[in-house]
Amino acid sequence: MDLVNLRGIQINTNHCQTAHVSALQAASDLNLDFITVEDPYTIAGRPMEPALGHKMYSSKNEKKPKGKKHGYTFWCDDLRNLRNSTNVLYKKYQGFKRNNSPEDVIQEAGTEYRKSRGQYKGLLLRTKRKAWEDYCGNYTEKFGGIFRMVFNKSNKVNNILVNPDNDQNVSFEDRIKTLMKHFFPNNDSNIGDIYTPSVESVEELNYKEIDLVIYNFKKGKAPGLDQLDYKIWTAIHGFNKNFLTRIFNLCFKFNYFPEYLRKANIFFLQKSGKDPKSCDAYRPVCLLPTIGKILERVFQNRFNKYLSLNNIIHRNQNGFREGTGCDRALDNIVNKIRETRSNQHCALISLDIKAAFDNMDWSVLFKIFDFYKIPLFYRNFIYYYLLDRKVVFKDETLEIERNCHKSCPQGSVVVPNL
């Protein structure tokens, strides 16, 4: 075949069967030697067979991938019809303005258009809200799906890379279990073997003590497993001040910290500058129930008052104390160095306790209570605060629970005092 004299045509039928057949018929009438069809119309998943005896070639253009659809939809015929009628009224209104029609005609058309536009916007908002409510009400999957949809968190990056044994097949669940075992190891000893509580009477709380705590808490903190925010408890206390006061007074009466409030939701923060495969590169942080943290703060205020009145805390202890901080400690050190260097040699030794919160021994803690003769009320409350404590790692697909036999939950209010 003489390639120079070949005659052909390239057509794009845009997936239209009628246009496809018409193009083939036209090519046949022109006695063409070949036809190239871009995106030929498909039937049952296969391109149409050329019925006119011509050679057909299909282009291999890749189609643009379709965007991921939401799990819900709100569009309906009522919205479409109202939108179309609103567009017609808008074009009519603009046409009158372009043609310099009488003022009353323009105003009447404008009024009609704006009324229809308002109806369309109102229907659009109501339809969206109703569709979202129906979707959430009928949603049967786990919580994470809706959360990711609302906050665009579908592409979550897993940054837990712990792998002390360099196992190539380690799963995410195994990584979390490794961290849980590292920070919360099994222990044969039990706090019940260390101390036996005996209830001691204590002065009742009044609602002003709770006011001082609840209205000074930083809002916006993440809630625990109960998913109840501080705003909820603030509203409840503002509505009925006796509600929380009675509950907390019962806890104080029996020197008891409720078991339900001892369960913490845990997650791990990666420390910068450390090997992410090592367990020491992560810091466990506990999300505790907010009502428990309010109760902790009320107890802490009482405890701090006792420690201050009895001069138990050293005067140079600046961390985790109200009215003091690192700036005061640094100022004291700098002033001491300046005084000493004028006529003496000076050296500074800095000591740091590695993972102090994670390695606190409860038996040592209660021996310290004995040494300082801490009243039974404070001992009992802290005993029940630590007894049968649990930590839970929970996400969309995984839930791991582990008992805590030592240390204190990072994120707790009362922990710095301990």
290's tokens = 């907010």
Of 322 and 295, the one with more pLDDT:
295
pLDDT at 350: 81
All residues at 6 or more sequence positions from 148 whose CB lies less than 8 Å from its CB, including other chains: 154, 156
Which of 72-81, 263-272, 283-292, 349-358 is predicted least confidently?
349-358
Please check the confidence at residue 418 and state whether its pLDDT lies above 80: no
Please check the confidence at residue 143 and state whether its pLDDT lies above 60: no
pLDDT at 28: 65
pTM, two decimals, is 0.57
Question: Residue 86 pairs with which residues in a beta bridge?
Answer: none
Average pLDDT over residues 313-324: 72
- Could you identify the residue written with the tokens 């450390």? 274
Average pLDDT over residues 201-229: 83
The CB density around residue 14, as the number of other CB atoms within 10 Å, is: 10
pLDDT at 27: 62
Question: Is the distance from CB of 256 to CB of 380 less than 8 angstroms?
Answer: yes
Tens digit of each residue's pLDDT (9 = 90 or more) over 348-379: 888 877 766 666 777 888 888 888 898 999 99
Residue 17 pLDDT level (bands cut at 50, 70, 90):
low
410 burial level (CB within 10 Å; 0-12, 13-18, 19+)? middle
CA atoms within 13 A on the CB side of 137: 6
The CB density around residue 259, as the number of other CB atoms within 10 Å, is: 12
Please check the confidence at residue 395 and state whether its pLDDT lies above 90: no
- Could you identify the residue written with the tokens 């120079």? 4
pLDDT at 377: 92
Report the candidate in 250, 253, 263 with the shortest Cα–Cα distance to residue 289: 263
Average pLDDT over residues 73-93: 90
CA–CA distance, 294 with 219 (Å, rounded to integer): 12
CA–CA distance, 20 with 13 (Å, rounded to integer): 6
Report the candidate in 282, 304, 271 with the shortest Cα–Cα distance to residue 374: 304
Q: CA 344 → CA 94, 220, 330, 338, 385, distances in Å?
A: 90, 51, 20, 10, 49
- Phi then psi dihedrals of residue 285, to 5 deg: -125, 135
Average pLDDT over residues 93-118: 90
Percent of the residues in the chain that have a pLDDT greater than 90, as a whole number: 13
Percent of the residues in the chain that have a pLDDT greater than 70, as a whole number: 72
Please check the confidence at residue 90 and state whether its pLDDT lies above 70: yes
pLDDT at 155: 41
Q: Is the dihedral of CA 236, 241, 246, 251 positive or negative?
A: positive
pLDDT at 117: 92
Please check the confidence at residue 51 and state whether its pLDDT lies above 50: no
Of 76 and 413, the one with more pLDDT:
76
Tens digit of each residue's pLDDT (9 = 90 or more) over 397-406: 788 998 887 7
- Phi then psi dihedrals of residue 258, to 5 deg: -55, 140
Q: Which of 6-10, 78-82, 154-158 has the highest mean pLDDT?
A: 78-82
Question: Is the distance from CB of 276 to CB of 163 less than 8 angstroms?
Answer: no
pLDDT at 54: 44
Helices (H), 153-240: 172-183, 191-194, 207-214, 230-239
Please check the confidence at residue 252 and state whether its pLDDT lies above 90: yes
83's tokens = 């939108």
pLDDT at 332: 83
Report the candidate in 249, 206, 191 with the shortest Cα–Cα distance to residue 379: 191
